[in-house]
Amino acid sequence: MSFTLPTLNYNLDALEPHIDARTMEIHHGKHHQAYVTNLNNAIAGTDAENASIEDICKNISKYPMAVRNNGGGHYNHSMFWSILSPNGGGQPKGTLGEAINKTFGNFEDFKTKFNAAATTRFGSGWAWLIKNANGDLEICSTANQDNPLMDVAEVKGFPIIGLDVWEHAYYLHYQNRRPDYINAWWNVVNWDEAEKRFGM
Ligand code: MN
């Protein structure tokens, strides 16, 4: 079995003006597709062909770098599209909202900490809100296409939301203004989906 590019639940222009259609088209259709193609090529004829992408990430130290880069790329982007919505933004309700307030004080303080992780990630990578092994929320960031599921991650846990801060995610519209992209992104975060992930 090979991995496939997931279809988006919204149109390419649905996240405008926060994320523009051209960026979405290239990011999903070209960048994510390349991760899928290269992942399939890297695992062809190996046992990994029968593994889930989550299990591959959890055992990533046993795989070649091509699987780490492209498997991470496939997991991360699949998660990313799913936690975006044209009807997103605002604040999380329910158990996730409560957990965020309990851990970080309030939503604004949480956002400030998450933004700092996303802004200060040097070069390409991701910022994450994760649920760790104790069930507690934590903010962290990873380089390249690594993620907190990976056994090589400094901070491990299950991703609730993640923000792609590779230049390919924002450069066409925001050029070097990564902080503007980060601020705009909050307007399209799908908190209902994040709440579901928090319950997993
Ligand atoms: Mn990306």
pTM greater than 0.75: yes
| 105 CA to centre of ligand 1 in angstroms | 30
Give residue-wise pLDDT tens across range 35-90. 999 999 999 999 999 999 999 999 999 999 999 999 999 999 999 999 999 999 99
Q: With beta carbons less than 8 A apart as the criterion, state whether 116 and 178 touch.
A: no
| 73 CA to centre of ligand 1 in angstroms | 7
Q: Where are the beta strands (DSSP E) in the chain?
A: 125-131, 137-143, 158-164
| 75 CA to centre of ligand 1 in angstroms | 11
Phi-psi region of 52 (alpha: psi -120 to 50; beta: other; left: phi over 0): beta
